[in-house]
Amino acid sequence: MATNRKAAAKDAGSITDAWQIFGPKHILYRILMVGKALDRIGAQQVRDSADISLAEWRVMAHLGRLGETSASELSAAAQVDRAEVSRAVNSLAKRDFIRKRPNPANRLSQLLSLTETGEEVFDRVFAERQQFFQSITADLSREELRELDDRLYRIAGKIDEFVENQ
């Protein structure tokens, strides 16, 4: 078996090839591999579509779904470091994709929202991303997608518990 794993590691050019390196007991590693591949593909797609980074897209996507919010709330919702959000926000503001305004509830923060240009970019890229995600999950039934989502949510809950107990 070790020889097969070494061969898989040597030849691993695809996720399905690399899948064989670690067995089903390493499901979290497999989830990580899928996530990294989705990030690589997503970064290329948003760069090609809108000339933005994946971090910038994540800010726009969350603003598009949440509406006006602060950078802190956006950072928490996206599970992303505040420094990354700050860099993306500044870049997007320079390109007139987002606007900043004073937060009446907290003078130390600003409220962020998409501009009209930002909404147009969001709508276009969001539709493209949805189409991509649907193509990736096309072989799964509605029930299988629901079950997968349920199991991933349970894993996410265990991760939250782990973090809380640290």
What one-character-per-residue DSSP string does the chain give? -HHHHHHHHHH--SHHHHTTTS-GGGHHHHHHHHHHHHHHHHHHHHHHHHS--HHHHHHHHHHHHH-SEEHHHHHHHHT--HHHHHHHHHHHHHTTSEEEEE-TT-TT-EEEEE-HHHHHHHHHHHHHHHHHHHHHTTTS-HHHHHHHHHHHHHHHHHHHHHHHT-
The stretch 32-56 carries a mean pLDDT of 95
Domains present along the chain, CATH in parentheses:
26-136 (1.10.10.10)
Is the pLDDT assigned to residue 4 strictly greater than 60? no
The yes-or-no verdict on residue 59 having pLDDT over 50 is yes
pLDDT above 70 (res 5): no
Q: Is residue 11's pLDDT more than 90? A: no
Instruction: State pLDDT tens for residues 67-95.
Output: 999 999 999 999 999 999 999 999 999 99
